[in-house]
Structure 1
């Protein structure tokens, strides 16, 4: 479909100072850990300055409806990797998705950014060199093997156990070899917490393709799991483990997919859960396993599965190449049946999700004639107006989940129960980047105050 994506024009939320801080490229000839060690003392001073200047200032009111409404919009967390603005969309360390696509290093012959570069950006705020990204690929490949007992855990899982449950089990079990847990038991200084946290985070990200590949092969496919190729990038190895490494377009899709799903500021369930559990000094494996359990919910990461189910049902009922009127009738029937249109609306965004836009542009380039993609385009053209007419959504625009299933299924990855596992592999990048900085900056145990309904009533009664 050739429709123009509907977006609103707004002023950027990032100040000139913030843009300057996060616009530099990484110094050459340094590893990620070496660069991080250089940046930590600088950021400690920066945080100290911000708290000295602004620490006693009010930062937004709290109303009772926010307490009952899931803390919606409540400013309560520091999350440095990304910021989500309701009108502008997501920025990774100040950079939009199109900017990341342009600036981050690519694989030879590729057009999409390498997730290795995105992780470097999330951790440092800097664009790495091609050589630094290549070394990061090699480092992750060298760390990629999972313990035999974790392999046995996965192999003994019944195929009826949801892939996300298996994913969480395996990541939790990796805690057995946690560098942070061992260092903490050995009495490591608080100032050095970030070092073993970094090592655990690197190990975690590196091992996720082997875990995801083993789950996919056990549940949906056959054949021996191939070995990680140290000469290939992270997304290529993940694609190979899933059985799609020979398809260059699928590999490119994985590079884009992991990049745009990596982080979405700290208030979403998976990110917040990882930060919360990590604040108790649980190691990155335990913290991220908790993130995965939140991601597995149908109101979060499982939504991409829900979208494809809905699309498949629609396609089976109205057929391929159906008219706009047939699509409208099906959407209205969904709403009148008391259901929502999956993939539309967002807790924060009030425009078309830039991650949806990136996937749409990929589809227009690689699979413009795919019937399911055409249906996704038709839905985009009709659903927002219907939702506005029905009064069903403050934000009638599509989010990232509205598109990803159509892309994956086009290349033969049709097992929708597995989709959230890919989301989980991606989300590890943002969660671990923040965990590293939380330990480096000495972030405290997260402990918000809660109130009972009776206490709220008494509070306002006493004030009246």
Structure 2
């Protein structure tokens, strides 16, 4: 509970120190809620539970199952978020292109063995409903933003290409295909901070689940071990 309470002030201070020379630091406003205070301390004043099935949330469960300190658990979880297949996907944005250039770029990306950031999901088999909500919000509040056009064009181009590739179970976008554009529009343009930004919001869910894990006395997590002999028997078939 202490960690949840401290995170907005800690991460907002990091933001102001890193990108604004330590200027404009603000105190907690007791009349604002948790999220509003975070935005206020970042310097933005405009009005404005996660399950355990992804890398960062599962990492916090895994480290926490050893009864490690919650501060260590959230640190491990954010390290998981920093990968380009996870939350860092929302940093991969750009503009100035034609649709054919966009298609060529997508094919070159896939043929080089890389993935398209923000597309595909381990659980979902359709467009992420979070993506849909972000899209509707953007169309209402920032319809002329040039990056919004990019997001729309990528949405039109990428799913057919991934379907044609034949290896992707879910060719549709997840939330990371859209949320970076909103952050850019509202002034949070420092891409390296995006992982921190998503990490603090995720902390509410993963730390609440840690309370339940310890209250229920859940056991330590251990990976399944596979021996060389087992592998040889498996592939000998």
**TM-score normalised over the length of structure 1:** 0.48
| Pairing 1:103-114 to 2, within 5 Å after superposition | none
1:449 aligns with 2:235: no
Q: 1:427 aligns with which of 202, 208, 214?
A: 202
Larger radius of gyration: 1
Tell me if structure 1 keeps the 8 A contact 2:89–2:176. yes
Number of the residue aligned with 2:122: 347
**What residue in structure 1 maps to residue 214 of structure 2?**
439
User: In 2 relative to 1, CA 296–326 (structure 1 residues): closer, same or farther, beyond 3 Å?
Assistant: closer
Q: Specify which of 233, 244, 247 is matched with residue 33 of structure 2.
A: 233
1:218 match:
17
Point out where structure 1 has 5 or more consecutive residues left out of the alignment.
1-201, 253-261
Q: Report the CA distance between 1:327 and its aligned residue.
A: 3.4
Is 1:266 matched up with 2:52?
yes
Give the total of aligned pairs: 236
Q: 1:282 matched to which residue of 2?
A: 68
* CA–CA distance in structure 2, aligned partners of residues 351 and 398 of structure 1: 8
Match of 1:302?
88
Distance 1:460 1:382, change over 3 A: closer
Q: Go from structure 1 to structure 2 and tell me whether the alpha carbon gap of 1:231 and 1:383 turns closer, same or farther (over 3 Å shift).
A: same
- Structure 1 position 447, deviation (Å): 2.4
User: Distance between the aligned counterparts of 1:446 and 1:295, measured in 2?
Assistant: 20
Q: Which aligned pairs between 1:143-292 and structure 2 lie closer than 5 A?
A: 202-222=1-21, 223-245=23-45, 247-248=46-47, 252=48, 262-263=49-50, 265-292=51-78
Distance 1:377 1:459 in 2: 45
Question: For the Cα contact (< 8 Å) 2:78–2:195, is it kept in 1?
Answer: no
Instruction: Give 3-state SS (helix, strand or coil) of 2:87's partner.
Output: coil
- Aligned with residue 143 of structure 2, among 340, 350, 368: 368
Q: Name segments (4+ residues, structure 1) moved above 6 Å.
A: none
Q: Higher relative contact order by CA 8 Å / sep ≥ 6: 1 or 2?
A: 2
**Shift in Å, 1:351:** 0.7
Change (3 A) 1:449 1:332: closer
Superposed CA offset, 1:274-324 (max 9, x none): 11111111122222222122222222222222x22xxx1xx14x2xxx5x4
Please report how far the alpha carbon of residue 421 of structure 1 lies from its aligned counterpart in structure 2 after TM superposition.
0.5
CA deviations on 1:161-211 (whole Å, 9 max, x unpaired) are xxxxxxxxxxxxxxxxxxxxxxxxxxxxxxxxxxxxxxxxx2111111111
Q: Is 2:85–2:117's contact at 8 Å kept on the other side of the alignment? A: no
Flag the 1:339–1:285 CA change in 2: closer, same or farther, 3 A.
closer
Q: Which runs of 5+ in 2 are unaligned?
A: none
Residue-by-residue CA offset, 1:3-50 (whole Å, 9 max, x unaligned):
xxxxxxxxxxxxxxxxxxxxxxxxxxxxxxxxxxxxxxxxxxxxxxxx
CA distance in 2, matches of 1:287, 1:332: 38
Q: What is the CA distance between 1:419 and its match in structure 2?
A: 0.5
* Aligned equivalent of 1:398: 173
Deviation at 1:240, TM superposition (A): 1.4
Distance in 1 of aligned mates of 2:145 and 2:134: 14
3-state DSSP of counterpart to 2:53: coil
Say if 2:152 is the partner of 1:377.
yes
